[in-house]
Structure 1
Amino acid sequence: MGLSEMFNIALMQGFAGISLFSVLLLMALGLAIIFGQMGVINMAHGEFMAIGAYTVFLASTLTEKFLPSLIQVYFPFAIVAAFCFSFVAGWVAEWSLIRHLYKRPLDTLLATWGLSLALQQTFRSAISPKEVSPTLPDWLMGSWAPTEGLDIPINGMFVLALTTLVTAGVMIALYRSRWGLRVRATVSNRSMASAIGINTKKTDRLTFAIGCGIAGIAGAAFTTIGSTGPTSGSLYIVDAFLVVTFGGAASLLGTVASAFVISQTQSISEFFMTGSMAKVLTLCLIVVILMIRPQGLFATKVRR
């Protein structure tokens, strides 16, 4: 094997890590908002991702059946619908369940774990117990070959672009919008934020719903690289928590850096060993680094 072939393989493997990085980052962004900013341990976060994925599947099915001429343009609208459905589901979950459990982290863990099991059974009964995949537009298929022997999948580039857009939007919203100001004030000092007129309960509900909506976008992105089943979202929940914890629970910049490090470590390791051993290696490295730096890569000082 020549040097150029080795270089191309390394690039393709690295881009495979970029695809994993994109899905992980979208999942972790929503979780960072919910867990990092609100302190809620949401074990059902993966199921909100699945809601987004199933929304794309249902949009594909309905488009094929009733408007087959629009199959090439439905996907961007399906992504918006995935965000909306996951947002509404998150809003309802916060109103009916989560708002009663603030400052009780173990209770939120058990309650959201029960919610995740209920949603998984709902997916099995209402949609299908088997994995499903949407029909993707032709422009998402195939690959781009900048040089001979180097093939970069188009769907991976699309997911990366979508992730970049969502990440930039979250950053701008959190640091430049009225909602972001309210969130940061509530995190910094809830009592003082309430005293100056911020409706902290409404802020919590909107924040939780936005985090779930971003998970829905992650599910929509996931449909371009894998099939969706009732437990698909739960397969990513542990990795998403690792990303948020490793990066620093209240740091979005840390979440981005952590997702990149974890995805690239796992992807490159899988080239030399089995997938299970690559996960073990990645987890061991994270544990060692957290032992040295328990606050994560980017710690945010919060006034109590």
Structure 2
Amino acid sequence: MPQLPAPDYPADVRARLEADAKEVIARYPGSRSALLPLLHLVQAEEGHVTRTGIRFCAEMLDLTTAEVTAVSTFYSMYRRKPSGDYQVGVCTNTLCAVMGGDAIFDELKQHLGVENGGTTEDGAVTLEHIECNAACDFAPVVMVNWEFFDNQTPETATRLVDDLRAGRTVEPTRGAPLCTYKETARILAGFPDERPGAVEATGGAGPASLIGLRLAKGEGAPGHGTDHVIAPRTPAAAATEEPPGGHSDEPPPAGHPSSHDAPQQTAASDPQHPAGPIAEEGE
């Protein structure tokens, strides 16, 4: 049985979306490049990508509905069914998992009474496990509408979803203030982020992210034994250092965390220390 054509938006909604879509399309030299933000735009209207939204994108970009559907089903950021005002994603990739992400996810499934991708009966929270969000140094991480909640436990994550369902104010660990999923989708479509303080908010690098930089400078790594502690640079030593971007053939001091990466004394790629041919066995 052939599928019925997708219904259109009401006239006032269609006119508003067309004006927004034309603004988005004008940013690109080729109109079809605007497909991803347009999918966010229609998702901001209904909370997920509907057949009506797919038809709208296809008509605005002179594409087939099959082409739009192929893109919208490829990316997990686009929802294909109604979901909650707050998408709660628990990272269950390797590091977050071993640091407690699996335990958090299991606890939230039981607490909310939903499985992966399920939405609570009140329509407030959709729970899902997510892949790495490049915040491994804050593991385990929970994200709500793509805002970070770092260093979570089953207890803190449970309080978080309870606060969301109760309508209480929830503050992300870092970054911009929290907003609903529809509001997030409109921001991802490329429209101004009008949340108070959002422009000034930055994720920044936390102490965990900066340990590597401290080690590279020869400073001590907090929380480790003395074998991992490097003496801080003295003013005299700092005065003799290479400028940023400079290079030195001197190997790092013994015990330096990157001493295994020191320049080798002979290497085929080092013209100052050419390597001889490798002798064959028996020569």
Q: Does TM, normalized by the shorter one, top 0.5? A: no
Task: Flag the structure with more relative contact order, 1 or 2, with Cα contacts below 8 A and sequence separation at least 6.
Answer: 1
Higher helix proportion? 1
For normalisation by structure 1, the TM-score amounts to 0.22
The higher radius of gyration belongs to 2
